[in-house]
Structure 1
Amino acid sequence: MPARKREYDEDDVRVRPGRSSRPRTRTRPKHEDAVDALVITVDRGRYGCVREGGDDDIVVAMRARELGRKSVVVGDRVALVGDTSGAAGALARIVRIAERTSVLRRTADDDDTTPEGRLERVVVANAEQLVIVSALADPPPRTGFIDRCLVAAYDAGIEPLLCLTKNDLAGPEQVLDYYAELDLPYVLLRPDSDLDDLRARLAGRMSVLVGHSGVGKSTLVNRLVPAALRAVGVVSAIGKGRHTSTSAVALRLPRVGRRKDDPGWIIDTPGIRSFGLAHVSAESLLHGFPDLVEGTLDDQPHCDHMSADCTLEKWVAAGNADPRRLASYRRLLSSRAGEPAGS
């Protein structure tokens, strides 16, 4: 007689207790009680923030895990939870980053690369104005660097302002003549200059200052914000300044006299020797040279603007633009292709 197939009921089943854990969920807390703040410093995973509409007490914060890989940079407007008192030892958490109105980027130096290529760095977020600080002498002005900054500003949708220092040592004619067709706003400064014109251009705005080491940027920052205590460097004998600032920092401009308008913010950046533009497309490079745009209108499609047969070449040769501007534009094009870049 064949054996009967055994039937099982619930008493025969062994149930193993599972691991006790909370079920995973994609639902994130809304943090409706979060405090709005502005990031003014970044230092090894700690972010110095000031509360929007509050005093200038610095709240130290760290990134919340829910931000994932989103970077936080100086100029970011964020939401904080936790201990936002600003007391010694207190630590808040950044749980949200507001949408950025602008992002100023630069590609790292040639020797700062990864297997995927040159590193792209976000300099600051939400800047409205790029103040390009250049000395007229000691060290001499470098229009190639200024051109790079202009391209980065136009690419980011930030208005540029040229700030020419050390006007007591040299005149501005050569630099201003080079940019004569751009209608580029500028201010001239010497050690005894008042800063009224510059303050008026900074009022109510978030402005970021960039410039080579030794051009007087830290001295200018100390004059604008006496409490900044930024170190003032000494220009070396070979004409290249040593680095005097090592990290970007946002500084609230003080009110002057009885003026009630918002004096604005400035972001002081470290002195840099290059401003890489590998992140900017070849087409966007031309935005930094609006005086050359007309010469490209009749050019052949997909022209690289590098050959002698280029319409732009003939247009400039006919006296419609400064040949130095075309040479600078071509140096930037070449640097994107991996060739040595101009200064």
Structure 2
Amino acid sequence: MSWIDDTDDEDDEFDEADIRMRPNPKANRPRTKRRPAHADATIARVLGVDRGRYTVLVDEGTDEERRVLVTRARELRRQQIVTGDRARVVGDTSGDDGTLGRIVGIEERSSLLRRSADDTDQVERVIVANADQMLIVVAAADPEPRERLVDRYLVAALDAGVRPLLVVTKTDLADPAKFLSHFDGLDLEVFTSAQDEMPLERIGAALVGHSTVFVGHSGVGKSTLVNALTGSERATGHVNEVTGRGRHTSSSTVSLRYRGETGTGWVIDTPGVRSFGLGHIDRANILGAFTELALVAENCPRGCTHLPDAPDCAIIEAVAEGRLGPEGPARLDSLQRLLTTFGGS
């Protein structure tokens, strides 16, 4: 039996246009960087971060205020989100168990408190966003106060435009007068407390209406102070009798509300640190914190360091001539000390 093909040879030729392909919308859709506007996003305060999940406060200050667990959107995977941030949140913001919202953006920050691994590291690590005060906690003894570490905190605060405050604990163990004389030239409000007597009302009054980040060496009583002010139960530790070092108790940065008779504020507790790198600091921000000295510095030679060996420094000359009043020498000494600390010497 033979097969006879009686069709036209031209009909046997297939054109690519004759082949029907099943459309694949995903494969054929052009890639775009455009993202949804999320006009319905809710603004929330980031209270803490734990293993890729963020606790945020929604409808802050209203009767509907609630804590919500959220994650970050994929497009924010390279964005640092830290305690104190004002986040734009979408999805389920009911706060019910088992629900999870999503952060789709971060509002512009008013301040960033940062540190680097060491003075040569230009890579900054953001500690907290939108704080306007830093409360530095040191102990008069056990462990001994470290002037240079406090200087580093002060430099970081001045660089961030954050007002520094100082609390000296354990004053029943040692007189802090000599230590405090180190900071005579600074506009620094100081609180002192014995082990069983804290000026909670005075400190609390300074917290009202502010977001205050608490920093300090391990073992100085920072967590004890935070607990007393906020009613929280942050872990507290002790000082090793052999090394003289405190044990790290706060393992993460978290925002806690202070409620006082005259109002409320935010306490941002941070893990204790033994070093504070300043590789990211801008020298001009340190000088800018000394308003009257910065004004005189406008007459300094270009590139003036304002340090004792700086030739023709207008600030040094003004202090020597007494034009900056009786506080001039102490203010200049404080400026030079902080600039030296920033320089890593």
TM-score normalised to structure 1 length: 0.81
Q: Matches of 1:134 and 1:63 in 2, distance apart?
A: 36
Instruction: Map 1:126-141; keep pairs closer than 5 Å.
Output: 126-141=130-145
| Cα deviation, residue 293, structure 1 | 5.5
What's the CA shift for 1:318?
A: 8.9
Deviation of 1:67 (Å)? 2.9
Pairwise mapping of residues 1-20 of structure 1 onto structure 2 (< 5 A)? 13-14=17-18, 17=21, 19-20=24-25
Does the 8 A contact of 2:216 with 2:273 survive in 1?
A: yes
Alpha-carbon distance in 2 for matches of 1:134, 1:128: 20
> Does structure 2 retain, via aligned residues, the 8 Å contact 1:251–1:267?
yes
Q: 1:321 aligns with which of 305, 329, 332?
A: 329
Mapped to 1, the partners of 2:158 and 2:339 lie a distance apart of: 18
Structure ID, larger Rg: 2
CA distance in 1, matches of 2:55, 2:293: 43
How do residues 165-176 of structure 1 correspond to structure 2 at under 5 angstroms?
165-176=169-180
Identify the match of residue 76 of structure 2 among 67, 79, 89.
Answer: 67
> Which residue does 1:3 correspond to in 2?
none
Between the two proteins, the alignment pairs up a number of residues equal to: 318
1:109 Cα deviation after fit: 3.7
The letter of the residue matching 1:46 is R
Aligned-partner SS, 2:343: helix
What letter matches 1:263 in structure 2? T
Map 1:66-145 onto structure 2 (within 5 A): 66-109=75-118, 117-145=121-149
Q: Quote the offset at 1:192 in angstroms.
A: 1.6
- C-alpha distance 278-90 of structure 1, shift in aligned 2 (>3 A): same
Residues 288-333 of structure 1: per-residue CA shift (max 9 Å, x gap) = 6678758866654223456746456976889953596477335424
What is the CA distance between 1:13 and its match in structure 2?
A: 3.2
Quick one: structure 1 residues 154 and 194, their matched pair in 2 at CA, closer, same or farther if it must change by over 3 Å? closer
Could you list the per-position Cα deviations for residues 86-143 of structure 1 after superposition, in whole angstroms to 9, with x for gaps in the alignment?
Answer: 2222111011211111111111247xx9xxx453100000101111111122122222
- Is 1:160–2:164 an aligned residue pair? yes
In structure 2, stretches of 5+ residues that fail to align are 1-9, 323-327
Gaps of 5+ in 1: 1-5, 336-340
Q: d(CA) in 2 for partners of 1:167 and 1:251?
A: 26
Asked if the contact 1:147/1:288 (under 8 Å) is kept, the reply is no
Length-normalised TM-score, structure 2: 0.80
Q: Secondary structure at the match of 1:182?
A: coil
CA contact (8 A) 1:102 1:125 kept: yes
> Is the Cα–Cα contact under 8 Å of residues 138 and 169 in structure 2 kept in the other structure?
yes
Query: In the TM superposition, what are the counterparts of 1:157-236 in structure 2 within 5 Å?
Result: 157-190=161-194, 191-226=196-231, 228-236=232-240
**Structure 1 stretches of at least 4 aligned residues deviating more than 6 Å after TM superposition:** 289-292, 316-319
CA shift at 1:245, angstroms?
0.9
